[in-house]
């Protein structure tokens, strides 16, 4: 430990309470005095009691316990440990964050708590062995995208994909994409940029961990209303409900009939606000606006003959074509 001037005593006490104490690890006065001494400060009990009182006046939740003798710990913190547990679990499970960055984030979360509590948070990284991306650019990508969003500028980027031998190949033969970035979206274990590609009049989405060499352009982005049904901002919940497996598609109103045993799966997918009708004979129907795409059609096939498209006819024909194609594959 270092040698500090006496005027640093109050700050050292704050650091001590933050790092070494919690509800399961209260600290006695002798421990605090020893810590200050190791940092070059000789202090009396009375002075430390006065400091504790001052810290309480400043808003620090320093709690006194008398179990086994008087001891003190820092109670309420910037975050509750349960909140940090949720964040740590999400970070450790997120495939779009590298193992290295996941550790750095969880270490920063742990810095808000005592050493004992932060050790528990770090276990989350060990328990969750998610298939992590290797793209270390992810943070820089997000930083540039957010900067472009905040300044209403376009970006350009390269986009890669994997080949069967696990090597990378740039799409469009290495030509750059130019896009108006609108929002970032976490969807089914991947992080996406929702944007408009210059030569199209619709929304697209790209995995941020597959983007590389992003540049912020000195060119104003297109307004959302020019390229979508949204006026000022993208309705995250609506977009999330209408896009399946992040396949694009034209928004359409569809009507589908499900067996009542699928009600939970349907409401998990579309939310409780979805329009329901014809509840009878063990079946029910919904009307919902979705972006009809291969992802949506594939989702419906999961339910086999427990789901039936009622309208539109174009979607019914797509489902028939998909089923015939699958049948040919497995009959052969």
- Residue with the bigger pLDDT between 6 and 123: it is 6
Rounded CA gap, 107 and 99, in Å? 12
% pLDDT > 90, the chain: 46
User: According to the model, what pLDDT value does residue 307 have?
Assistant: 93
Pick from 181, 248, 166: nearest CA to 211? 181
Under 8 Å between Cβ of 90 and 125: no
Where does the chain have alpha helices with state H?
A: 9-20, 29-38, 45-57, 81-93, 99-110, 115-127, 138-150, 224-227, 236-242, 263-270, 294-301, 313-331
pLDDT average, residue stretch 223-229? 89
Residue with tokens 């020019």: 226
For residues 204 and 181, state if they share a domain. yes
Rounded CA gap, 244 and 241, in Å? 8
For residues 70 and 87, state if they share a domain. no
- Residue with the bigger pLDDT between 2 and 133: it is 133
For residues 146 and 219, state if they share a domain. yes
pLDDT-derived band at 143 (thresholds 50, 70, 90) equals: very high
For residues 70 and 108, state if they share a domain. no
Under 8 Å between Cβ of 99 and 8: no
Burial class (CB in 10 A: 0-12, 13-18, 19+), 274: middle
User: According to the model, what pLDDT value does residue 74 have?
Assistant: 92
Q: What is the CATH number of the domain that holds 321?
A: 3.30.70.240
Least confident of 27-36, 152-161, 323-332: 323-332
Count up the domains in the chain and report the number: 4
Per-residue tokens: 82: 């349960």
Last residue of a domain, one of 209, 234, 259: 234
pLDDT average, residue stretch 210-238? 89
Last residue of a domain, one of 92, 127, 162: 127
Could you list the residue range(s) of the whole structural domain that residue 272 is in? 250-331
Tens digit of each residue's pLDDT (9 = 90 or more) over 69-100: 899 999 988 888 888 888 888 888 787 888 88
User: According to the model, what pLDDT value does residue 244 have?
Assistant: 52
For residues 52 and 100, state if they share a domain. no
Task: Give CA 254 to chain center in angstroms.
Answer: 30
| Per-residue pLDDT at 131 exceeds 70 | no
Tens digit of each residue's pLDDT (9 = 90 or more) over 229-261: 888 888 877 777 667 555 566 778 999 999 999
Last residue of a domain, one of 50, 74, 98: 74
Residue 287 in domain: yes
**Bridge partners (DSSP) listed for residue 259:** 283
Pick from 29, 315, 298, 325: nearest CA to 13? 29
**Which pTM was predicted?**
0.65
Residue 243 in domain: no
Please provide the average confidence, as pLDDT, over all residues in the chain: 87
pLDDT average, residue stretch 96-113? 86
Under 8 Å between Cβ of 97 and 111: no
For residues 307 and 261, state if they share a domain. yes
User: According to the model, what pLDDT value does residue 29 have?
Assistant: 94
Residue 133 in domain: no
């Amino acid at each position: 430990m270092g040698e500090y001037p006496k005027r640093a005593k109050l700050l050292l006490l704050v650091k001590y309470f933050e790092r070494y104490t919690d509800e399961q690890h209260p600290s006695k006065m002798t421990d605090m005095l020893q810590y200050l001494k190791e940092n070059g400060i000789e202090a009396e009990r009375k002075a430390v009691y006065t400091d504790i009182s001052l810290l309480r006046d400043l808003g620090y939740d320093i709690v006194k316990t008398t179990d086994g003798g008087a001891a003190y710990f820092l109670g309420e913190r910037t975050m509750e440990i349960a909140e940090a547990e949720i964040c740590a679990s999400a970070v450790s499970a997120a495939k779009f964050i590298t193992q290295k960055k996941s550790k750095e984030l969880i270490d920063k979360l742990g810095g808000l708590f005592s050493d004992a509590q932060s050790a528990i948070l770090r276990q989350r990284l060990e328990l969750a062995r998610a298939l992590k991306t290797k793209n270390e650019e992810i943070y820089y990508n997000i930083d540039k995208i957010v900067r472009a969003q905040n300044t209403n500028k376009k970006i350009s980027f390269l986009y890669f994909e994997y080949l069967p031998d696990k090597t990378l190949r740039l799409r469009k033969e290495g030509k750059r994409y130019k896009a108006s970035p609108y929002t970032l979206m976490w969807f089914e274990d991947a992080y996406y940029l929702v944007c408009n590609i210059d030569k199209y009049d619709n929304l697209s989405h790209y995995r941020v961990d597959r983007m590389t060499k992003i540049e912020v352009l000195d060119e104003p982005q297109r307004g959302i209303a020019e390229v979508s049904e949204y006026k000022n901002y993208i309705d995250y919940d609506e977009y999330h409900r209408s896009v399946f497996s992040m396949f694009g598609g034209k928004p359409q109103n569809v009507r589908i009939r499900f067996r009542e045993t699928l009600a939970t799966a349907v409401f998990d997918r579309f939310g409780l606000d979805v329009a329901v009708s014809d509840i009878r004979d063990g079946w029910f129907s919904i009307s919902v606006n979705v972006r009809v795409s291969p992802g949506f059609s594939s989702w419906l096939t999961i339910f086999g003959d427990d789901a039936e498209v009622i309208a539109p006819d174009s979607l019914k024909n797509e489902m028939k074509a998909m089923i015939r194609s699958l049948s040919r594959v497995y009959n052969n």
